[in-house]
Amino acid sequence: MTGRLTLFDHAGNIVQQDAEPLEFRGKQYRIAKIMPADEHYFGLGDKTGGFDRREQAFRMWNSDAYGWQESTDPLYKSIPFYLSYRAGTSLGVLIDNTWPSSFDFGKTKGDTFEYRADGGPTDIYLLYGPSAKHVLENYAWLTGPTPLPPLWALGFQQSRYSYMSQERVLEVAGRLRKDRIPADAIYLDIDYQDKNRPFTVNIQTFPDLPKMVAALHQDKFHVVTIADLHIADLPKQNYLALDSGIAGDHFVKNADGSLFVGPVWPGPSVFPDFTQKKTRGWWGTLYEPFAKAGIDGYWNDMNQPSIFNVLKTMPNTVMHRIDEPGFCPRTATHQEIHNVYGMQNARATFDGQLALKPDVRPFVLTRAAYAGGQRYAATWTGDNSATWNHLRLTTSMLKNLGLSGFSLAGADVGGYAGTPSLWLLTKWIEIAAFQPIDRDHAEKGTGDHEPWAGGPQHEAIRRHFIEERYKLLPYFYTVMEQGTRTGLPLLRPLFLQFPNAAADRHPIDVDLAAGGEFMVGPDLLVAAPPFPDRANDYDAELPSAGWYDFWTGKRLDEGSTPTLTGDTLTVAAMSTILIHPELATLPVFVRPGAIIPTEPLVQSTVEKPVGPLKLRVFPGPDCAGEIYQDDGSTFGYRRGEYLRMRFTCETSSRNGDLAIHIGTHEGRFPAWWKDIVVEVNGLKKNPTSITVNGRATNISSSDQNVSITAADRGAGIEVVVHQ
């Protein structure tokens, strides 16, 4: 007996193997695994550094990391889940331990993975694929998927620390509408509060919050307010959040039983004990006045927890009371609870919104998180900087967040710390238009970050990309709904969709040429440059041949036809395309075989689109698509109030005719469209005729693209393009 664990698959292949037996030193312990030379590692949330975790090491300790850089660790989240990937075979590993710990992927010993923890259990979940998609499906089953968000959360969001007055908020919203820049949300940072005290309003600068919110709603905006978890320690001053919390015994205490008090934005503050169910319930009630005022979502910041002291957080000796159904009541030190504290804060906010508005989907944005936190909140990458390097880092951080369960994630567009150059802000807005959370945010003292900053030339480019996001919302929303069932994120690494792209089956995302690339759902590939500040040409790496240019609809490579293996397109070699970067362009490509639903432009998701649904068809193998719709706000979809349609196409091997099948309407939600425009891209020659449900119809064509309009009565449509 060696005391070492070896995990085999059914074929007898080694999936994971201990390098040394499990080692204990008092409360601390160490796990060591053999690292094959060709194995890659992903996950752990939004850690910095390269996308591949190999040869890197990370600490799990949620930290306020203002001004973080590429080598900064730890950051705001502790998600102790990673995905190993070797020649297309994946294993997911969740080490469910909330204590301070570390992951070392061969940085110390090049052939050995080491996990160390200061205490706690060794609860390890091994989730075998063999595909990475299957690993994520199992991880979502274990920890919960990202729930279907309100539709407006996928729209453009405008924020700042801080819009200092009611007038300024309305001015910014008015400018967005006046300049016809589509937008859905305005954020209020801490300065809307009275002396930065949570659950208060500064009536000098925001004299009528409900009236302001009503005006914004009238203009089709949603409003998100910040709600930090530190409650100002102001006894006998009629501060409801403090007084009710004291009365209910809801605050964290020192080991001697006294309240723990620490300095934060409002000054000396106390902190809710979110490990108690009753405390989370109480916390939810604090939102009632804001719910009545019409606030649509809440932003839980500083919840590492962040404190302005030497430790930057609570001392390890602070005590928490665990009082939760299914758990034995006990006390625990902050050392054990620290990494889940922010998640429990987000959970309390999420549950509080449900209690106040049971049929409205909550929206919570959290900075700190733990594994499973995606059930309660969206997230972002914290206080990034207005630099080209941070724009580059955003892609790898969001891909790893998606692989860690957080499908609804983003980064402060333009960079939080500092003023971006006009080129940087423009390019960031372009790329962020294809990322899950698209929130423009900046700190105090910086220059304007709003889309109009820098004049009409830059504004026009930024508006174009935000508009394109809104046209693609049917596709975004459909992928998000699919993710609630599959665990697959909206923003994905290429290897998740194309594990067989390289001849040796390595994950092509680790290639330098693909460093700026990411998938949006299964069908769109954004090929941003690996170094966005460089003006030189670069090669975009595509996982197969036959891709289409998203903007023109033209097929890139007519000389090679991809084949289908399972759900993965494969060819003998990957394709590359030389790209010359320009300020006003972003290379976006479409998978051959994709059918992308789009809608007419709206200025807000509150608007009903006017005009036909458009299906952009890109012929190829496994040709399919889908659209999912509902009211975008309530849980009516759980009662059958949704609309789902599926689409397929195939090309006849006999005569080259292209048949497009538009499925029947599923569910009870009514379509906003009467007609469907089918746009077929990349045809080699003009069709001889087109039939819709067997009847000839008119053709509208231009440069390899053909459009057909058909009435949609919900019973299905058959379109045949005859060659």
What are the pLDDT digits (tens) for 81-100?
Answer: 999 999 999 999 999 999 99
Those residues whose C-beta lies under 8 Å from the C-beta of residue 527, and which sit 6 or more positions away, are: 516, 517, 540, 541, 542, 577, 579, 587, 588, 589
For the record, the structure tokens of 130 come out as: 């063999």
- Give the C-alpha separation, 547 to 537, whole Å: 20
In this predicted structure, the answer to whether residue 694 has a pLDDT above a threshold of 70 is yes
Q: Which residues pair with 613 in a beta bridge?
A: 676
Delimiting residues of CATH 2.60.40.1760 domain(s) in the chain: 6-143
Q: pLDDT category, 561, cuts 50, 70, 90? A: very low
Those residues whose C-beta lies under 8 Å from the C-beta of residue 309, and which sit 6 or more positions away, are: 262, 263
Q: Mean pLDDT throughout 205-227? A: 98
For the record, the structure tokens of 615 come out as: 């299906």
pLDDT tens sequence across 423-449: 999 999 999 999 999 999 999 999 999
**Range from 189-198, 368-377, 489-498, 574-583 carrying the lowest mean pLDDT:** 574-583
Q: pLDDT category, 1, cuts 50, 70, 90? A: low
- Give the C-alpha separation, 475 to 404, whole Å: 22
pLDDT tens sequence across 235-270: 999 999 999 999 999 999 999 999 999 999 999 999
The answer to whether the CB of 197 falls within 8 A of the CB of 226 is no
Q: Between 277-285 and 240-247, two packed helices, what is the crossing angle to 10 degrees?
A: 150
CB count within 10 Å of CB 311 equals 10
Q: Which of 340, 317, 344, 321 is nearest to 331 (CA)?
A: 321
Q: Which of 374, 260, 266, 377 is nearest to 321 (CA)?
A: 260
Q: Which amino acid is at 572?
A: A
The answer to whether the CB of 373 falls within 8 A of the CB of 46 is no
In the CATH hierarchy, which top-level class contains the domain 484-590? mainly beta
In this predicted structure, the answer to whether residue 570 has a pLDDT above a threshold of 50 is no
Those residues whose C-beta lies under 8 Å from the C-beta of residue 385, and which sit 6 or more positions away, are: 67, 68, 69, 415, 416, 417, 418
Supply the DSSP symbol for 196.
G
N-term to C-term CA, the chain: 69
In this predicted structure, the answer to whether residue 559 has a pLDDT above a threshold of 90 is no
CATH topology for the 594-722 domain: Immunoglobulin-like (2.60.40)
- Give the C-alpha separation, 119 to 97, whole Å: 8
Angle at Cα 458 formed by Cα 603 and Cα 180, nearest 5°? Answer: 15
Q: Mean pLDDT throughout 535-552? A: 94
CATH topology for the 6-143 domain: Immunoglobulin-like (2.60.40)
Q: Which of 223, 224, 220, 225 is nearest to 181 (CA)?
A: 220
The answer to whether the CB of 556 falls within 8 A of the CB of 504 is no
CB count within 10 Å of CB 227 equals 24
Those residues whose C-beta lies under 8 Å from the C-beta of residue 616, and which sit 6 or more positions away, are: 553, 590, 594, 595, 596, 597, 598, 679, 681
The answer to whether the CB of 560 falls within 8 A of the CB of 463 is no
Q: Mean pLDDT throughout 102-118? A: 97
In this predicted structure, the answer to whether residue 571 has a pLDDT above a threshold of 70 is no
pLDDT tens sequence across 445-471: 999 999 999 999 999 999 999 999 999
Q: Which residues pair with 192 in a beta bridge?
A: none
pLDDT tens sequence across 627-652: 999 999 999 999 999 999 999 999 98
Supply the DSSP symbol for 521.
T
pLDDT tens sequence across 341-351: 999 999 999 99
Q: pLDDT category, 685, cuts 50, 70, 90? A: confident
- Write out the H or E segment, with its range, that includes residue 470: helix 456-471
In this predicted structure, the answer to whether residue 566 has a pLDDT above a threshold of 60 is no
- Give the C-alpha separation, 709 to 563, whole Å: 30
pLDDT of residue 134: 98
In this predicted structure, the answer to whether residue 371 has a pLDDT above a threshold of 60 is yes
Chain position carrying tokens 């993965």 = 568
Delimiting residues of CATH 2.60.40.1180 domain(s) in the chain: 484-590, 594-722
**What are φ and ψ of residue 344, in 5° steps?**
-70, -30
Ramachandran region, residue 70 (left: φ > 0; alpha: ψ -120 to 50; beta: rest): alpha
**Range from 387-396, 482-491, 509-518, 694-703 carrying the lowest mean pLDDT:** 694-703
Q: pLDDT category, 573, cuts 50, 70, 90? A: low
pLDDT of residue 651: 93
pLDDT of residue 433: 98
Q: Quick check: bond before 619 cis, omega within 30?
A: no
- Write out the H or E segment, with its range, that includes residue 437: none
For the record, the structure tokens of 360 come out as: 């409205």
For the record, the structure tokens of 242 come out as: 């403090």
pLDDT of residue 569: 38
Q: Which of 341, 446, 350, 349 is nearest to 64 (CA)?
A: 341
**What are φ and ψ of residue 305, in 5° steps?**
-85, 145
Average pLDDT of the chain is 95
- Give the C-alpha separation, 623 to 494, whole Å: 19
Q: Mean pLDDT throughout 156-160? A: 98
- Give the C-alpha separation, 497 to 519, whole Å: 8
The answer to whether the CB of 223 falls within 8 A of the CB of 182 is no
One DSSP character per residue, 405-425 reads: T--SEE--BT-SBSPPPHHHH
In this predicted structure, the answer to whether residue 560 has a pLDDT above a threshold of 70 is no
pLDDT of residue 347: 98
- Give the C-alpha separation, 77 to 687, whole Å: 55
In this predicted structure, the answer to whether residue 404 has a pLDDT above a threshold of 70 is yes
In this predicted structure, the answer to whether residue 45 has a pLDDT above a threshold of 70 is yes
